[in-house]
Structure 1
Amino acid sequence: MTAVTGWWRGLSGPERFRLYTRLTLQSAILAVAVILAVTTARAWATPGVLIAGAAALLAVEAQPEFATIGRGRKRRWMLPTATAVLVAMWLGYAIAARVLSDEADVDAARSAGIYVAMLAALSIAPFVRHSWWIALGLSVATGVAFGAHPGGMLLVAGITFLVAVFLVGTTLLTRWAITIVDDLERARVVEAKLRVAEERLRFSRDLHDVVGRGFSAIAVKSELASTLLRAGAADRATTEVEEIKTLAVESMDQMRALVRGYRDINLDGEVAGARSLLSAAGCELTVEGDPSAVPAEFHEVAAWVVREATTNIVKHSSATSATITMGSSGMTLRNNGVSSVATDATAGADERSGLRGLAERLAQVGAHIEHSSTADGFVLEVRWEDA
């Protein structure tokens, strides 16, 4: 049970939805096939019903969005094979309904034939072109084949068509829902990447604006000083060199200020940023406690903990919820997606170095960090020196 729970928690939201949809559809087909086979009035009709149910499962398995096994394999043969089997079963029951003389046998053939038509409407019609016309044609043909008289033919065709419309519509809506979920998942990934790209662009723009002008001036004045030296104007060249030195020092100070401003973080800002980033990644963040409860000397390292933990959740887990608890003695971060940083012994060096670098940063201020993987997800605990 623990392994199954861990596997389920390891799936993303879209993967869970797709799995639920596939299992629901195929379980419904299997259950109806078994129930009808058990309750059929004639034993000779039972094998055909089970074969038709298996063919319907094969037809659904042929669709990549509904496949449960071998999703990477080529499955072009599945749908034609399933169609041929269902058509053969339908024709067999239609012939039996016309040639058999016993009323019970005729009723069993009619019931089984209509059931096969329903299976075709559920498992084949939604996945081919002109689904609604195929459903209409199948309903008319079923009415003609299994109706005892003109009125009965019309009744069977009408009932079959209504049920077929419901089945085809339900399946098409399910396919549409899966498409929407996939699009939302792709949009979430793209949004997270865009946030990173925008931050990189902002920093590169600031670096160019602040430092580029100073370096350009240095290059121009260096060329002027070189020209003055060759012309023998040593005094003017000396002046230009002094100005070059001043520009270089100012540019270095500006660059340090820029990098310092980029690297300086505060706890309140990181918590707000974490909530925004995790929301974009499909993870709901809950904050327990108040950042002001964290001792002032640990605010900066606590902010780094929040930033690193947020990065790990986005990059290395499929968490849908996370909790940050802050207090005077430490802080705890939990999420319901098991992080590969803690569980994968073969994880890359960049994945392991994040927590290791964080532990080194915490050690410098007398704090320590522990992380563990549980059945409920991943837990990161930080304790200050007075804990």
Structure 2
Amino acid sequence: MSAMTGWWTRRSAAGKVELYTRWTFHLMAPVELVTLGGLPLNSGGKPRDLGTGLTVGLLLWVLAHSALCWTVSSRALGHTTGRRARPVRLAVALATATLLADLAVAGLWAGGALPDESLVASLLIVTSVFTAGTLVLCLDRVRHMAYAVAGTALAAALPVAAFGHGAPEGLITLVAVLAGGGAYASACGFSSWLLRVVQELERSRDLKARLAVAEERLRFGRDLHDVMGRNLSVIALKSELAVQLTRRGRPEGVDQMVEVQRIAQESQREVREVVRGYREADLRVELEGARGVLGAAGIDCAVDAPALELPAGVQSVLGWVVREATTNVLRHGDPGRCAIALRRTADGVLLTVENDGAVVRDGAGAPGRTGSGLAGLRERLGAVDGTLEAGPVAPQSFRVTARVPLAVPGTAGTRQEKETVA
């Protein structure tokens, strides 16, 4: 079942809106063919006698017009999503072809080759309505869209009046195209605007995640600067003083170098504290943060985490699991719900984060492959003899499971504290 529905469920919200909008307008070509295709052949169930050449010509025009509208709308939606340039030449070709066809149909009507007024009205009005809507897809401003509808209506009405059919017939054609074309063009313009807004929201969400990472890096850089800036300046001054004292043969130079050594060791300790604070996470804070962030993103987040007395190192590493899993939920797929559960087991603690709407991508939760985030979590859990499992558990569902034994002493910072900061 997932293989049959995955083409839809694995798409993001923006992808679903784009696919729905694109195929809606693709289906307008068959609608036009069904509406106009049979008119040159029969009327009210009775065959028309227009001649073979004229009948074939009208059928070819209906087929060509629907195919041209299909092509222009497809290219226009590509421009809306930022994948293609605006189809200006195709839009001009569609408008020109419609105008020439309106002149030809009005002329045939005036010459008596098309005596049926219902056929003429249908050809003029329906093709003009589809032309107006298709041209609107190529435009961005509402004022230009209104100009396109008005121009298409005039292109259909003026030939009727110019070939001597009278002002009433021309006015009726104008009003009909304005009403039908205006309604269809409004739907086209709204669909294009909605697709553009959804695409922009998708890009804004990705940008927000990248900005959050960049802001955290800047914060970490400022902390390091605050810690190291003053100490390095003092080390430089005292080293220079020690050099001068040593050159003069004074024993105070040794005292200055001892002081330099002390400051360097103190700086190393302070940097380790900064790194430890950067790498540690509070479990309760991360759980509440996950609830708030996912709720703000429109994702139903259920947190089932009773208060447990856990070692600081275990809380820190589980907090990192919650943080990384929440980031993956926001950045991958199109989830509607997320469940976070914390349980005490016989020999340890179990944390699970499960969400629906998962999109299987290389390096981002695909079976058998993991990204750098999950690899980092496994390293952190390894420091407390914990394990991490991540993968799909049902169609479009993804689960992250972290197990930490409490019988083994240790902290999340044990391995980190052994690192030497250059």
Q: In the alignment, which of 54, 66, 81 is matched to residue 53 of structure 1?
A: 66
Unaligned runs of 5+ in 2: 49-54, 407-422
Cα distance, 1:291 vs structure 2:
5.1
Please name the residue that 1:23 is paired with: 23
Is residue 207 from structure 1 mapped to residue 224 from structure 2 by the alignment? yes
- 1:106 paired with 2:117, answer yes
Structure 1, residues 139-185: CA drift from partner, whole Å, max 9, x if none? Answer: 23423444754323222211221222223333223322233223322
Report how far residue 229 of structure 1 moved: 0.9
Q: Aligned residue for 2:149?
A: 135
Q: Deviations over 1:111-140 (max 9, x none)?
A: 122111111111125536944334223323
Q: Distance in 2 between matches of 1:271 and 1:250?
A: 34
**Structure 1 residue 365: Cα displacement:** 3.8
CA contact (8 A) 2:280 2:320 kept: no
1:359 maps to which residue? 378
1:342 to 365, 372, 381: 365
Matches for 1:73-152 after TM superposition, within 5 Å: 78-100=90-112, 103=115, 105-125=116-136, 127=138, 130-146=144-160, 148-152=165-169
Q: 1:294/1:177 Cα in 2 relative to 1: closer, same or farther (>3 Å)? A: farther
Question: Per the alignment, in what secondary structure is the counterpart of residue 92 of structure 1?
Answer: helix
Question: What code does the residue aligned with 2:401 have?
Answer: E
Cα offset, 1:83, TM superposition: 3.8
Cα distance in 1 for residues equivalent to 2:2 and 2:359: 13
Report deviation, 1:285. Answer: 5.5
Q: 1:326 to 1:5 in 2, by over 3 A?
A: farther
- Spell out, residue by residue over 1:307-342, the C-alpha distance to the aligned partner (whole angstroms, 9 max, x if none): 232343455x23334332222242221232234333
TM-score (norm. length: structure 2): 0.77
Separation in structure 1 between the aligned mates of residue 272 and residue 155 of structure 2, nearest angstrom: 81
CA gap 1:121/1:260 in 2 versus in 1, 3 angstroms: same
Does the Cα contact within 8 Å between 2:239 and 2:260 map onto a contact in 1? yes
| SS of equivalent to 2:402 | strand
Contact 2:239–2:256, Cα closer than 8 Å, also in 1: yes
Deviation of the 1:87 alpha carbon: 3.5
Partners in 1 of 2:112 and 2:22 — Cα distance? 39
Task: List per-residue Cα deviations over 1:167-226 (Å, max 9, x = no partner).
Answer: 333322332223322332232222222211111111111111122211211111011011
Distance 1:309 1:269 in 2: 14
Residue 6 of structure 1 corresponds to which residue in structure 2?
A: 6
User: Which runs of 5 or more structure 1 residues have no equivalent in the other structure?
Assistant: none
Separation in 1, partners of 2:402, 2:249: 66
CA distance in 1, matches of 2:276, 2:258: 27
Give yes or no for contact 2:294–2:301 (8 Å, CA) kept in 1: no
Distance 1:352 1:188 in 2: 20
TM-score of the aligned structures, taking structure 1 as reference length: 0.83
Letter in 1 for 2:212: R
CA RMSD, Structure 1 to Structure 2 (Å): 3.3
**1:276 to partner: Cα distance:** 5.5
What residue in structure 2 maps to residue 65 of structure 1? Answer: 78
Distance 2:2 2:210 in 1: 34
Taking the aligned partners of 1:118 and 1:54, their CA distance within structure 2 comes to 15
For the residue of structure 2 that corresponds to 1:342, the secondary structure is coil
- Between stretches 25-34 and 255-264, larger displacement belongs to 25-34
Partner of 2:334: 319
Give the structure with the higher percent helix. Answer: 1
1:146-165 alignment, distance < 5 Å: 146=160, 148-165=165-182
User: What is the total number of aligned residue pairs between the two structures?
Assistant: 376
Paired with 1:73 and 1:101, the residues of 2 have a C-alpha distance of: 42
- Asked if 1:245 is matched to 2:261, the reply is yes
What amino acid does structure 1 have at the position aligned with 2:270? Q
Matched, 1:193 2:210: yes
Secondary structure of the 2:122 match is helix
User: 2:384 matched to 1:370?
Assistant: no
C-alpha distance in 1 between matches for 2:37 and 2:298: 46
State the alpha-carbon separation in 1 of the partners of residues 207 and 386 from structure 2. Answer: 36
Q: What's the % identity of the aligned pairs?
A: 29
Amino acid at match of 1:286: C
Q: 1:302 aligns with which of 318, 325, 348?
A: 318
